[in-house]
Amino acid sequence: MSKVLVLYYSSYGHVETMAYAVAEGVKAAGLEVDVRRVPELVPEDAAKAHHFKTEQDAPLANTADLPLYDAIIVGAPTRFGRLPAQMANFWDQTGGLWAKGALIGKVGAVFTSTATQHGGQETTLYSLMSNLLHHGMVISGLPYSFQGQMKLDTVTGGSPYGATTIAAGDGSRQPDENELAGAKFLGQHVASLVKKLA
């Protein structure tokens, strides 16, 4: 059976929550899914001082496993409008896979979290995507058939470039129902594309 990887980094749990919503969408579409996270790079005392959520259930990802998947959906919070070093560091170790063309033709998609509405959601999604494009992956966005991204009556995430949430400056806001639905939709949509390409 085709298999999808949801690969994420999360300091405070917002992207982690979104990752499981994406995985739920993949499962709902009938494909197998693994949720994996990339290793923390911030020193332990700094992570504690900044109240990072250091305990997370997802096993650590291994670059050697990437070729086993038919699709890879990547999520990470913004860092100054781009992907965090933790996620970049993971992809920086995939040069060998790139040289072999091991990920060419796989489906890719992305999701993110920012503190503020205009704090860099789309630039972060693009910076996550560029890793996948250089690997020759076929990128899927979040289609407008997920109509939740059109909502204007309330502050909420969602973008044609990928699923998103907004965490607030102090991290107090959690992914809302609409954002989780967007994440699930993305998982389901990617799974449907995998089935078409199989």
Residues forming contacts to ligand FMN in the complex (CB under 6 A) are: 10-15, 77-81, 113-116, 119-120, 167, 171
Q: 2 or 20: whose CB is closer to ligand FMN?
A: 20
Closest distance between ligand FMN and the C-beta of residue 35, in Å?
A: 14
**Spatial distance between the Cα atoms of 156 and 160, rounded to a whole number of angstroms:** 14
Residue nearest to ligand FMN as judged by C-beta position: 119
Least Cβ distance, residue 79 to ligand FMN (angstroms): 4
If the CB atoms of residues 2 and 114 are measured against ligand FMN, the closer one turns out to be 114
Scanning the structure block, which residue is given the tokens 């972060």?
124
Q: Which residues of 96-115 are buried (b: 16+ CB within 10 A; e: fewer)?
A: ebeeeebbeebbbbbbbbbb
CB-nearer residue toward ligand FMN: 2 or 156: 156
CB of 93 to ligand FMN, least distance (A): 21
Please report, for residues 16, 22, 86, 109, the alpha-carbon distance to residue 12 in angstroms, rounded to integers and kept in the order given: 8, 18, 14, 22
Closer Cβ to ligand FMN, 169 or 177, answer by number: 169
Token pair listed for 103: 């990920």
We find the least distance from the C-beta atom of residue 126 to ligand FMN, in angstroms, to be 14
To the nearest whole angstrom, how small is the minimum distance from the Cβ of residue 183 to ligand FMN? 12
CA distance 54 to 127: 24
Q: Report the 3 state secondary structure along 41-96.
A: CCCHHHHHHCCCCCCCCCCECCHHHHHHCCEEEEEEECECCECCHHHHHHHCCCHH
Q: Which is nearer to ligand FMN, 14 or 184 (CB)?
A: 14
d(CA 48, CA 42): 10
